[in-house]
Chains A and B, each alone.
Chain A
Amino acid sequence: MTERIGVYVCHCGTNIAGTVDVVDVANWAAEKLKHQGVVIAREYKFMCSSLGQELIEKDIKELGLTRVVVAACSPHLHEKTFRTAAKNAGLNPYLVELASIREQVSWVHSDKTIGTAKSKAVVSGAVSRVIENAALEEIKVPINPNTLVVGGGIAGIQSALEIANAGFHVYLVEREPSIGGHMSQFDKTFPTLDCSACILTPRMVEVGTHPNITLLTWSEVTNVAGYVGNFHVTIKKKARFVNEELCTGCGICQEKCPKKVIDDVYEAGLGYRKAVYTPFAQAVPNFPVMDKENCTYFIKGTCKACEKFCPTNAIDFTQQDKQINIDVGNIILATGYDLFDARRVSNYGYGRLPNVFTSIEFERLSNAAGPTLGNIVLRDGKTTPKSVGIIHCVGSRDKNFNNYCSVICCMQGLKFAHLVHERTGATVYNFYIDMRTAYKAYDEFYQRVLEEGTLFVRGKVAEVTNAARKESEKGKLIIQVEDTLAGKQRRIPVDMVILSSGLQPRADSKEVGKMFGISCSMDGWFTERHPKLDPVATMTEGVFIVGCAQGPKDIPSSVAQGAAAAARVLDKILQKEVMLEPIKASINKETCSGCRICNGLCPFNAIAYIEDDKISDINPALCQGCGTCVAACPAGAISGTGFSDAQIMAQIDGLLLRNLIAA
């Protein structure tokens, strides 16, 4: 039975019509492809408009069309539009094919004759293909209403709270002993100069006490299997050596522990902690962890002071890592960022010159709960600096290190300038390339810092050195910079230098991405589905990325993304089931010889070998529709819907105009 095919060629204004004679193409299709089943061929200015879609719907109803070909823009833009139009008219949406004659023809070629000829070939290919299309039904799978949030920073906390407040269960997994992320290390936040801990800790407490949130800190995700709506996740809960049922968070163990260690994580290497510790006073949960590598008992077998003094006998040296398996429907990745290692910029002297500090070290100095109790002092722990230089763009906007802009460093540099003025009254210089103060109240903050008397030098700092050339430079750090506005080289002696280091993706972002089935960009940030219109979703259904894991951003943006992802997850949960594209592979039982070549080819483990029947079988829920097994089967026993062999062979013939030779 010959199909009844409708061909619609779009002008797209002059986007297509400028380089392709659309009328000619339509007429040609009506005439030359009649024998294949084309009953009507139209051309219209804007097929995607409601009038254009109505044309198609009308023809389907009145002419009894069984297939539709729309020659227009890329299927990535409007495939859904035309499929929906067909559906509305009662035709199965998968019997519609799009032929791209805009991105692939009219926009990339300039000669109208060539463009028209190529469009005819493309339409011919689409017509030949659509004949072989099968009517497919979308697959519905139920959604598990639980959600996994990986990362307990501000973005993760926001997502978790939104979903939990809506009444659904959330598992929040955090690698460190406490949630809070980098925001818990800061002193004040720009531009409002809110105390960071004051605005963060209420949220942290809410998470810690929420009945709908299971908080798993000092834990890591080790394996993820499954697909949207049905993920099976394995989590390793590392041993704290503290029994959480008995611990009251009194802190006596920390007091009595004799082993002092430099705290590299929370105090940025400036302060100390004990071998058994909570990272900071407001930690949630407030159970300490034991650092096995530095604990005297684990090294030598002696001490055990914490155990002796614990009033509730909560110390347990025999505790083991635990494996927890959970089932969730959606996953939100909020894993945050790493700070650029300023040691790599050796001309700034960080690591070699004592009084050069990074941004996070300064936050700890400035923080009232930090190692210097909020006094901004030099590396000797005592002296207040009289002059401070703050260098922007360290490791960012730099071909030698990271090409991108880290977004927050300018505001951060201004914030530091303000704090130094306020606390020490020192002279402050800010060395910048451009001043990036884009969002609400940011530029006003810049004006304020200007008015406070901060000196701004526009130029990329060449070097920070302690080699004095004259008397006035002795004992100081000299910043050598080209002052581009004054047009001269300057050597500015200061007591302290603060490097506004850039943000980097986490060191293990590639491995984490692989585990969750998402990819990373060239820089290492997780890749979003669409950079402009879909920044929190990924190419993998059911996995979302929020906060700095997606790219450097400030706190309000992280919070917004966290809430956005939560809304997307809630939308899925409330629908109770998710529709999957019916592009799947399936094995024909009769033709399968049980050779098992396909078994090893599937990265989603969708193909299993059935011992009893001695044939292989594909689980349609796990199948992602890549088609590798379809191509590999030597017996041709595997067929793939949506991209079947018949469809592609037909398209090849059509593109090469072999279909014009009457069969």
Chain B
Amino acid sequence: MDNDHFEPTIIGFTCNWCSYRASDLAGTARMKYAPNVRLIRLMCSGRLDPTFVLRALSAGADGVMITGCHPGECHYIEQNYKALRRYLLLKRVLSGLGIEPERVKLVWASAAEGARFASETTLFVEEIRKLGPLNWSKDSDQLSVISDQSDNWSLITDNSSEEVPA
């Protein structure tokens, strides 16, 4: 499949207070954007466990978009900073795994920025289109390593240290 006709599948994580409302606003305003993103609502971007990203990529997504409130505007005060720290570390882990770090992107969008949400989504879809499909593994046996045992996340240890100043 050549890249021109490849339609990426992207999983997007949104936070309940800002970015999810931004996507709602984009909808209310009927702004059109690329249909390749499927959204999951979390209460806060800080809820994002890096294993979610890995699960998404291994389950067939070609890219993951993480969105949240702008720094300083988090509904839970400062949890989006923690999401940022995890995201930066995750990118390094991904390149270690041989996955292009550009497949995961962090975008801040406030509840009033419906247009920004729409344009960033479309932009990201194009970026993934250029990278091509991920094809993590077509073999479903290999997938079962991650897909069952919902309480064994020690596959990747989270080394984020709380000593890092906010």
Task: Judge whether B44 is part of the interface by a CB distance below 8 angstroms.
Answer: yes
Query: B76 touching A603 by the CB < 8 A rule?
Result: yes
- B24 contacts A656, CB within 8 Å? no
- How far apart are the CA atoms of A627 and B39 in the complex, in Å? 18
Complex interface: chain B residues within 8 A of A74 (CB) = 24, 27
Decide if A630 is an interface residue (CB 8 Å cutoff): yes
Given known A103-B27, A600-B162, A655-B11, contact A632–B38 (CB-CB < 8 A): no
Is A475 located at the chain interface by the 8 A CB criterion? no
Q: How far is the CA of A600 from the CA of B164 in the complex (A)?
A: 10
B76 to chain A, nearest CB (A): 4
Tell whether A625 is near chain B: CB-to-CB under 8 Å: yes
Q: Say yes or no for A42: interface residue by CB 8 A criterion.
A: no
Which A residues from 92 to 134 make CB contacts under 8 A with B?
Answer: 100, 102-105, 107-111, 114-115, 118, 121-122, 125
The docked-state distance in angstroms from the alpha carbon of A640 to that of B61 is 25
8 Å CB contacts to B: which residues of A612-651?
624-628, 630-636, 640, 642-643, 645-646, 648-649, 651
Judging by beta carbons under 8 Å apart, are A649 and B76 in contact? Answer: no
Nearest chain B CB to A115 CB, angstrom units: 7
Whether the Cβ atoms of A108 and B38 lie closer than 8 Å is: no
Selected contact of A125 from candidates B38, B46, B147, CB within 8 Å: B38
Instruction: Confirm or deny: B5 has a beta carbon within 8 angstroms of a beta carbon on chain A.
Output: no
Which residues of A are found within 8 Å of B47, using beta-carbon distances? 626-628, 630-631, 640, 643
Take A519-B73, A649-B55 as given contacts and tell me if A627 and B27 are in contact as well, using a CB distance cutoff of 8 Å. Answer: no
Nearest CB of B to A469, in Å? 48
Shortest distance in angstroms between B52's beta carbon and chain A's nearest beta carbon?
A: 6
B91 located at the interface, meaning its Cβ lies under 8 Å from any Cβ of chain A in the complex: no
- Cβ of A233 < 8 Å from any Cβ of B? no
> Interface readout for B111-155 with A: 1 if CB under 8 Å, 0 if not?
000000010000000000000000000001001000100111110
Instruction: Give the distance in Å from the alpha carbon of A657 to the alpha carbon of B140 in the complex.
Output: 13
Q: How many angstroms from the CA of A605 to the CA of B2 in the assembled complex?
A: 52
Residue of B11, B82, B150 touching A656 (CB-CB under 8 A) = B11
B23, chain A: closest CB distance, angstroms = 6
The answer, yes or no, to whether A599 is at the interface (CB within 8 Å) is: yes
- Asked if A658 contacts B46 (CB within 8 A), the reply is no
Contact B43 A645 (CB under 8 A): no
Residues of B within 8 A of A599 (CB): 162
Q: Besides the contacts A103-B24, A646-B150, A656-B56, what 15 more A-B pairs have beta carbons closer than 8 Å?
A: A76-B21, A103-B23, A104-B24, A109-B35, A539-B75, A601-B46, A603-B79, A628-B47, A630-B47, A630-B49, A632-B160, A645-B153, A648-B49, A653-B55, A656-B61
- Top 9 A-B residue pairs of the complex, sorted by shortest distance between their CB atoms: A103-B27, A627-B47, A628-B46, A600-B162, A626-B44, A626-B76, A631-B49, A603-B77, A107-B27
Contact mask B20-45 → A, CB, 8 Å, 1/0?
A: 11011011101111010011111110
Distance in angstroms from B113 CB to nearest chain A CB is: 11
| Given known A-B contacts A646-B150, A649-B55, A628 and B76 have beta carbons under 8 A apart | yes
Indicate the member of A122, A519, A600 with the most B CB atoms within 10 Å: A519
Interface assignment of B9: CB less than 8 Å from any CB of chain A: yes
A574-611 vs B, CB cutoff 8 Å, 1 = contact: the mask equals: 00000000010000000000000101110110000000
- Say if the beta carbon of A251 comes within 8 Å of chain B: no
Indicate whether A652 reaches chain B with its CB closer than 8 angstroms. Answer: yes
| 27 A-B contact pairs sorted by A residue (CB < 8 Å) | A75-B41, A102-B27, A104-B27, A108-B26, A109-B35, A111-B35, A118-B35, A122-B38, A517-B77, A597-B160, A599-B162, A601-B46, A627-B43, A628-B47, A628-B79, A631-B49, A645-B49, A645-B150, A651-B40, A652-B59, A652-B61, A653-B147, A655-B38, A655-B40, A656-B59, A657-B60, A658-B60
Question: Which residues of the other chain, A, contact B102 by a CB distance below 8 angstroms?
Answer: none
With beta carbons under 8 angstroms apart, the residue of A109, A111, A628, A651 that contacts B82 is A628
CA distance A95 to B93 in the complex (A): 36
Q: B43 contacts A626, CB within 8 Å?
A: yes
Q: Does B86 contact A (CB under 8 A)?
A: yes
Would you give the shortest CB distance from B136 to chain A, in whole angstroms? 11
In the complex, A437 Cα to B32 Cα: how many Å? 38
Q: Determine whether A1 belongs to the interface, using a CB cutoff of 8 Å to chain B.
A: no
- In the bound complex, what is the Cα–Cα distance between A118 and B121 (angstroms)? 15
Which residues does chain A contribute within 8 Å of B30, judged by CB atoms? 107-108
* Chain A residues with CB under 8 A of B33: 108
Question: Nearest CB to that of A77 among chain B residues?
Answer: B24
Task: Determine if A661 is an interface residue (Cβ-Cβ < 8 Å).
Answer: yes
Q: How large is the interface on A (under 10, 10 to 19, 20 to 34, 35 or more residues)?
A: 35 or more
Q: Is B158 an interface residue (CB 8 A)?
A: yes
The 8 Å CB contact of A631, one of B17, B86, B152, is: B86
Could you say which residues of chain A place their CB within 8 Å of the CB of B38? 118, 121-122, 125, 655-656
Kindly list chain B residues whose C-beta atoms are within 8 Å of the C-beta of A603: 76-79
Contact A656 B118 (CB under 8 A): no
Closest to A628 in B: B46
Q: What is the bound-complex CA distance between A643 and B20, given in angstroms? A: 15
Interface residues of A in 189-219 (CB under 8 A from B): none
Q: Is B65 among interface residues, defined by CB-CB distance under 8 A?
A: no
List chain B residues, Cβ under 8 A from A658: 59-60, 143, 147
In residues 72-102 of chain B, which contact A (Cβ within 8 Å)? 73, 75-79, 82-83, 86
Q: Which of B42, B49, B83, B162 contacts A597 (CB 8 A)?
A: B162
- Chain A min CB distance to B144 (Å): 10
Contact between B158 and A632, CB atoms less than 8 A apart: yes
A274 to chain B, nearest CB (A): 43
Contact at B79–A636, with CB atoms within 8 Å? no
Q: Which residue of A lies closest to B77 (CB)?
A: A603
Asked if A76 and B152 sit within 8 Å, CB to CB, the answer is: no
Do A583 and B43 contact each other (CB < 8 Å), given the known contacts A631-B48, A656-B9, A656-B59?
yes
> Hey, which chain A residues are within 8 Å of B31, CB to CB?
108
Docked Cα-Cα span, A649 to B118, in Å, equals 25
**Is B24 touching A76 in the complex (CB atoms < 8 A)?**
yes
A115 touches B35 (CB 8 A): yes
Q: Among residues 221 to 279 in chain A, which have CB atoms less than 8 Å away from a CB atom of chain B?
A: none
Q: B40 contacts A624, CB within 8 Å?
A: no
Q: List the B side residues contacting A102 at CB < 8 Å.
A: 27
Contact B59–A631 (Cβ < 8 Å): no
* A106 nearest CB neighbor, chain B only: B27
Please judge, given known A-B contacts A652-B11, A652-B40, whether A107 and B28 are in contact too, CB under 8 Å: yes
Instruction: Mark A50-76 against chain B: 1 for CB-CB distance below 8 A, else 0.
Output: 000000000000000000000000111
Chain A residues with Cβ below 8 Å from B86 are 631
Inter-chain contacts of A640 with B (CB < 8 A): 47
Asked if A626 contacts B79 (CB within 8 A), the reply is yes
Which residues of chain A are near B20, meaning CB under 8 Å?
76
Q: Which residues of B contact A645 (CB under 8 A)?
A: 49, 51, 150-151, 153
What chain B residues lie within 8 Å of A634 (beta carbons)? 154, 157-158
